[in-house]
Structures are given as structure tokens and as C-alpha cells.
Amino acid sequence: MAYFYSGGRLKVGAPGSNGTDIHDLVKDQTGPVYIYDLDNVVKRFETLKAALEGGGTLRHTIHFAMKSNSHPAILAKLASLGAGVDTVSGGEVKLAIEAGVPADRIILSGVAKTEREIEYSLSQGIKQINVESPQELARIASVARKLGKTADVAFRMNPDVNPKTHPYITTGFRENKFGMDESFLPELIAILRDTPQHLRLRGLTQHIGSQLFDLAVMKEAIEKTIKVHRHLETEGFQLDRLDIGGGIGIRYETGDEEEELSLVRDYGRMVREAIRGLDVELLTEPGRVLVARSGLLIGEVQYIKRAPAKTFAILDTGMHHLMRPALYGAKHRVLPLHDRGAKQNYDICGPICESSDFLAKDVTLPELHQGDRVAIADAGAYGFVMASRYNAHELPRELVVENGVIVN
Ligand code: LLP
């Protein structure tokens, strides 16, 4: 998504084009609003798909990690392009089905699947359950027996690599609660052998973390998982899937889409190389890389407060609507909808009664006035889905734009 100012107004579109005036899109809205650009989601999906296929005929399915954004219009659009989804709760499975994602393209992940969630998912006929522990496998077996069904499962491996990202979003390191190492295999295999009519092991899965840029670490994790895959084959299991998770990062600070699309192409090449010779359907679970860039969170300046040490621009939106800056120190670009020429340094804060309620700190921006609208960029992933009604504020509205017009 390229943002630029023309005639002092924030536009989105190809530089040099007329672009779409963001203010026109939101002028009839009151209160904070998320806007998603569907065309951007499609472009990024197609780029990832082409990168994975590399001009060849890779057997694969992209399962969009809908925890990053579960807006039904986005789910429906991706499903229409052939995508499935990766879900982490019964609630997400239900949302996906309601949005029209075929059940046989739904994966259920998550570390604490309840009996009800497993029962609901199996009765819907989903594609695969990614298993996090032997106890969970035993629970899936017992629910499948009760339903008279066979559950297709994949074991989530913890390849013990350090993916060098924010500690709150690493998942494939030995100290994380996610996945299992090889020491779990005997117990898992015993459960499989005990219940062959209700469990079918389709393959392995892994997801080592989020906001990743180091392809070498990602490759190491895939290779470690493939070793276990080969070992299970020697134990007599016929595995026909390999799920390598998601995790590709984006450059929040610069907004440089070209750099990350080139990372996506390198990722595709790396994956094809890592899985060469393996006869499986490849499954991926990207979230952020598909939707982060498509989203803007727009709030309105309520007050400009000039304190001796700082100038605060206090908005009607904050950490309750976009938690990433407060939780991970994430740096989202701040784009005022109007550029009057003069610049000023601000801390951009919200209405919540906590000092962690900021969207950006120490940023130099076009001068802001009370009543101005401000867009927070790259908020399409882990934005609205993590929003809360803390302090009894309303949730923001969500608008979906396609070809420059609001469609939803
Ligand atoms: N698969 C599994 C099993 C996951 O746990 C995740 C994300 C994904 C796929 C998608 O990862 P992605 O491609 O989006 O990196 N709230 C944090 C991110 C949490 C990620 C949790 N798991 C943030 O705002 O940065």
C-alpha cells in the first residue's frame, strides 16, 4: 500500500496516480474505524502463491492464519482464491464456516482445545487438527470414537530453533509451550496404534514464531521437522502432508512493500529447496504477511496537550483498539489525513487510563489540530482481532474497500 499526500490530503494508491482520498472514505463515520483494502490482500496472496509455486506445480494449500484478521469479507475473498484457514478455537472454525470457507480447508491449531471445540470441529468435517500434546491426542481419539469418525491429525513439532523475534511471539524454542520434541514420539505413536480406526496421522506441523526475517532459521526448522517425518515413515506411517506454519514478517518502520515482497519470493525458493524430494501436500499458515498492509486504523484528535517535556496528541483510539505498540513496542507509521506543511513532534496517545496507552512515541508529523483524523498504518493484522472494550469504550467499526469503494 503506497500512501502519499496530494493537495495536502492523504491518498492511497500507486504514486503518480490520483489515488483514493482516505478522508472521503471515512467522512461519514463517527468514532474510530478500521479500513481494509481487499485488493492489497489479493495481491499479497497471489505473490505468496506464485513464490511457493515458483512457476512449477507444487501441491500446496495456503491456510490463512485467521487469528490475524477474521473479517468475513477477507475470509470469503481468500477462500474464493483457493485458500483455506488456520484456526485456533471453535469460535474461529465457526466464523470460517459462516464466511463460506469449505470445512475441508480448515485446520484447527491451538494449545488448549476443549472437548467441545474438538467435537464441533470433527462434526463439521474439518481437514486436520494440529496436535500439541499426547493428552490432546488421546482426547481427540475419544471424541472421534464417540462420533464414529476418524480424525486427521498432524503433530506439532517444536524444532528448538531461535527465530530472533520479539520474545512474546517466538513459539519454536524449547522454552515455549508450543509443540513437542522427539521425546514425545513413543507416547504419541502408542496412542495412534491403540486407536487406528479413529486417528489418521497425516503429517507434521510447525510454527516457530511471527514477524520473522531470517530464512536460514526457518529453513533449519523445516529440515529438522522433515527428519522426524522421515523417521515416522520408517515406523510405517504414510504421511502425505507437511505444514510449515506462518511467520513471515513485514517492515512496519519503513512501509517498504517491495523489500518484503522480495522476502516472500526468497521464502518461496527456500521452502521449495527445503522440501525437495518429499512427496506431500505442503500446507502454509501465513497471517500477517497477507493482511497487515491492507489495514488502517483511523482515529480523531480530541486534544493537543502541550506539556513542558512533550506534546501529546490524544486520540479517541488507542491501546484498546491496537494493542501492538503497548504490548510489543511495535512501531506503526502514523499518517495524519491532512498535511498543512508545518511539522511537530508528538506522542500519539489514546483515551485509556494507563501510561502504556500509546500508539507512537516521539514521532515528527505534519502538524495536528483538534478534530483532525489520523491513520495508523499496517494495522490489518492483529489489530481489530485483539481489540477490547476496556474502559467501556466501543469497539471500532470495520470497513472493507475494494477498487477504492466501500463494499462492506
Ligand atoms: N500458525 C500458528 C500456529 C500461529 O500461532 C500463528 C501466529 C500463525 C500461523 C501466523 O503467524 P504470522 O504469519 O501471522 O506471523 N499478536 C502478535 C502475533 C501473534 C502470532 C501468533 N501466532 C503480533 O501482533 O505481532
Which ligand 1 atom sits closest to the C-alpha of 386?
A: 16
Q: At what angle do helices 134-147 and 115-124 cross, to 10 degrees?
A: 50
Each residue of 370-390: pLDDT tens digit? 999 999 999 999 999 999 999
Ligand 1 midpoint to CA 16 (Å)? 35
Each residue of 108-155: pLDDT tens digit? 999 999 999 999 999 999 999 999 999 999 999 999 999 999 999 999
**Per-residue DSSP letters for 111-156?**
S---HHHHHHHHHHT-SEEEE--HHHHHHHHHHHHHHT--EEEEEE
Q: How many CB atoms lie within 10 A of CB 247?
A: 30
- Extended strands (E) in 157-308: 199-205, 241-243, 281-284, 295-306
Which residues form the pocket of ligand 1, taking CB atoms under 6 Å from any ligand atom? 65, 67-68, 86, 109, 169, 171, 207, 210-211, 245-248, 285-289, 324, 328, 382
The pick from 68, 327, 376 for probing ligand 1's pocket by mutation, whose C-beta has the most ligand atoms within 8 angstroms, reads 68
Among residues 109, 96, 221, which one has the least CA distance to residue 154? 109
pLDDT(406) > 80: yes
Instruction: Kindly tell me the burial class for residue 43, based on how many C-beta atoms sit within 10 Å of its own C-beta (0-12, 13-18, 19 or more).
Output: middle
Which ligand 1 atom sits closest to the C-alpha of 211?
A: 15
Handedness of CA 14, 17, 22, 25 (dihedral sign): negative
pLDDT(271) > 80: yes
Which ligand 1 atom sits closest to the C-alpha of 287?
A: 14
pLDDT(177) > 90: no
Ligand 1 midpoint to CA 208 (Å)? 9
- Which region holds residue 203: left if phi is over 0, alpha if psi is between -120 and 50, else beta? left
Higher pLDDT, 52 or 403: 52
Mean pLDDT, the chain, rounded, equals 95
Of all protein residues, the one whose alpha carbon is nearest to atom 23 of ligand 1 is 382
Least confident of 166-170, 193-197, 207-211, 333-337: 166-170
pLDDT(200) > 90: yes
pLDDT bracket for residue 16 (50, 70, 90):
confident
Ligand 1 midpoint to CA 287 (Å)? 6
Quick one: what percent of the chain has pLDDT higher than 70?
99
Each residue of 228-245: pLDDT tens digit? 999 999 999 999 999 999
pLDDT bracket for residue 257 (50, 70, 90):
confident
Each residue of 298-311: pLDDT tens digit? 999 999 999 999 99
Of all protein residues, the one whose alpha carbon is nearest to atom 5 of ligand 1 is 207
The pick from 285, 289, 321, 359 for probing ligand 1's pocket by mutation, whose C-beta has the most ligand atoms within 8 angstroms, reads 285
pLDDT(171) > 90: no
HEC-encoded secondary structure of 52-78? HHCCCCCCEEEEEECCCCCCHHHHHHH
- Provide the annotated active-site residues: 353
Helices (H), 237-359: 257-274, 288-291, 324-328
pLDDT, position 15: 72
CB contact set of 124 (below 8 Å; sequence gap of 6+): 93, 97, 103, 106
Which ligand 1 atom sits closest to the C-alpha of 286?
A: 13
Which ligand 1 atom sits closest to the C-alpha of 324?
A: 24
pLDDT, position 314: 98
Distance (Å, whole) CA 208 – CA 74: 25
Handedness of CA 263, 245, 322, 408 (dihedral sign): positive
- Specify the long-range contacts of residues 86-95, CB closer than 8 Å, at least 24 apart: 86/246, 86/285, 86/287, 89/117, 90/114, 90/116, 90/117, 90/120, 90/121, 92/66, 92/67, 93/117, 93/120, 93/121, 93/124, 93/126, 94/120, 95/66, 95/70
pLDDT(170) > 90: no
Q: What is the pTM of this model?
A: 0.97
Ligand 1 midpoint to CA 381 (Å)? 9
Ligand 1 midpoint to CA 223 (Å)? 21
Ligand 1 midpoint to CA 368 (Å)? 34
pLDDT bracket for residue 278 (50, 70, 90):
very high
pLDDT, position 374: 98
pLDDT bracket for residue 172 (50, 70, 90):
low
pLDDT(190) > 80: yes
pLDDT, position 1: 67
